[in-house]
Chain A
Amino acid sequence: MYSDRVMDHFKNPRNVGEIDNADGIGEVGNPVCGDIMKIFLKIENSIITDAKFKTFGCGAAISSSSMATELVRGKTLEEAWEVSNKAVAEALEGLPPIKMHCSVLAEEGIHKANNDYRKKQGLEPWVEKNPHSHEHDDGTCQG
């Protein structure tokens, strides 16, 4: 059911772990829904020099976290903000429709970590252009 790319990132996840004294941390999801992602960013001169994650969730959640952290490493904060859930899913060669919310979580996790950094810097948090529902697409998980 999963693409080879998803399985690769699931079995050999990139960037697992935490960053001590991370500049931005974003935790999204809910254990009731079966997935939680915690994203850690190291930021120097507005560039993401390191990104790590910890994830509780299914194969799609783990591989989305892995891919999202890969995609934002080395990017400016502005560039990283533009990494959409679709970009994560496409980089993984697609996700099953029912698992698309996992890529949404990854995007949200990056955004939240980014804004965490901005708040710490005394900057205005950026506003989500396309706020996603925090429930799953079909609304079954009301956690």
Chain B
Amino acid sequence: MGEKRIIYMDHSATTYVRKEVVEAMVPYHTEHFGNPSSIYRIARESKKAVDAARTQVAKALGAEPDEIYFTSGGSESDNWAIKGIAWANRKKGTHIITSKIEHHAVIHTCQYLEHEGFTVTYLPVDKTGLVDPADLEKAITGKTNLISIMYANNEIGTIEPIAELGAIARKHNIPFHTDAVQAVGNIPIDVKAQNIDLLSLSAHKFYGPKGMGVLYIRKGIKIHNLIHGGGQERRHRAGTENIAGIVGLGKAIELATADIEGHNRRIQALRDRLLKGILAKIPHSYLNGHPVKRLPGNINISFEFIEGESMLLWLDDEGICASTGSACTSGSLEPSHVLLATGLPVEISHGSLRLTLGNVNTDEDVDFVLEILPKVVTRLREMSPLFKSGKGGCNVQ
């Protein structure tokens, strides 16, 4: 390998850190390393940097700076939002509503709460991955104390009707959380206009550093702390601030939201060309997710008769980084819960491929994938007992 060109199409897994972001961070590792809780000058520099980043985040979300809390990432933000609200409102009731296609940071947190005596409704989705607001309305009871629906799905890219779902929650006076880890930097967000009470985000999905996230908590929302200890983050999230990380997150969100439409036009044009090319060149391939309401860089396709991991291994051999909803790469043996929730048959879920485009991708990348992928699929189909070449028939039961 060594010299080989890398075609990175896994931006939903993580992104590189932009140069401007790294440069903004460096002084806070080396010079302005003071603990913001201290009183001397270098500490004041750190404090100022944290405040500035908080303002950058607030601006990007349409929030107030004092509604922004820095965390260690999307998983912590999701855990905090769900456990914090569930415990704070448990006198009202112990019912939570979420969806079947949430990230594991939400699903497993809800499952933990089920063990602790809460009841959870997992709303279904249609075959494109959309939650029906009418289903939410029906699921609400007098005991519902939290609604958590993701903004955009990490696997199939479907964008949920967040403003509408938020309005329903607001009408019933129930706190509404959204895991927006995949959305921030890709979709314009306005927490006020969209009726969002809590929102999770993660810096490494928009060219910021790993290990940095935010939980937006609307003023007036009652929530318990998750991390207990010192008085940081206005006594809501203990632990000495990751100053450089916070600075990096602030810079990254500012850059990512500066020209979201312009950025998306470019990525979406590349994505659409790649998607059309794949569907045209490879028979028995199907787009997963919504045809229009989807993240601009997301492609999720199932190829019949083949399995995802072997596809990834061949693509990797050609320098192409992608991911799959097949069980065989996940460490468990179940295929993606998201694909299954959309009603995709299990055997076809094993043959899914996710390509997520981002800043680094070019027209040449798209051409290259369009050259390589059909060969990989053909090669694997030729050795698949499920594929009857020529007839193109499927004997999957």
Contacts and interface: CB of A to CB of B under 8 A. Distances in A.
B333 A140 contact: yes
A54 B385 contact: yes
A143 B349 CA distance: 14
Contacts of A2: 313
Contact of B328 (A7, A10, A54, A58): A58
Nearest to A37: B385
Interface string B333-346: 11100000000001
A59 interface: yes
Interface stretch (B31-39, B52-60, B182-190, B303-311): B303-311
Nearest to B395: A31
Interface in A21-52: 27, 31-38
Contacts of B382: 16
B386 interface: yes
B250 to A, nearest CB: 36
B328 A36 contact: no
Contacts of B306: 56
B383 interface: yes
Given A57-B310, A98-B333, A34 B383 contact: no
A136 interface: yes
Interface string B142-154: 0000000000000
A27 B314 CA distance: 25
Contacts of B384: 54-56
Interface in A76-92: none
A60 B347 CA distance: 17
B350 A55 contact: no
B397 interface: yes
B307 A35 contact: yes
B317 interface: yes
A5 B385 CA distance: 23
Q: Is the contact region of chain A dominated by helix, strand, or loop, or is it mixed?
A: mixed
Interface size class of A (residues with CB under 8 A): 20 to 34
B332 interface: yes
A34 B310 contact: no
B166 to A, nearest CB: 36
Contacts of B328: 34, 57-58, 60, 99
Nearest to B347: A31
- Counting chain B residues whose Cβ lies within 8 A of the other chain, the interface size class is 20 to 34
B326 interface: yes
Given A62-B310, A140-B333, A141-B334, A56 B386 contact: yes
Contacts of B385: 27, 36-38, 54-56
B383 A13 contact: yes
Contacts of A132: none
Given A31-B346, A38-B385, A58-B326, A140 B313 contact: no
A34 B314 CA distance: 17
A10 B310 contact: yes
A140 B383 CA distance: 26
A141 to B, nearest CB: 5
27 contacts: A2-B313, A10-B310, A16-B382, A17-B383, A31-B386, A31-B396, A31-B397, A33-B333, A34-B327, A34-B333, A34-B335, A34-B350, A35-B307, A53-B383, A54-B383, A54-B385, A56-B305, A56-B385, A56-B386, A57-B307, A57-B328, A58-B308, A59-B313, A60-B328, A140-B332, A140-B333, A141-B334
Give the 9 A-B residue pairs with the shortest CB-CB distance, closest first. Answer: A31-B347, A58-B328, A58-B309, A54-B385, A38-B385, A34-B350, A56-B384, A140-B333, A32-B346
Given A11-B314, A56-B305, A141-B327, 14 more contacts: A17-B383, A31-B350, A31-B386, A34-B347, A36-B385, A53-B383, A54-B383, A55-B383, A57-B310, A58-B328, A61-B310, A62-B383, A141-B334, A143-B346
Interface of A: 2, 7, 10-11, 13, 16-17, 27, 31-38, 53-62, 98-99, 136, 138, 140-141, 143
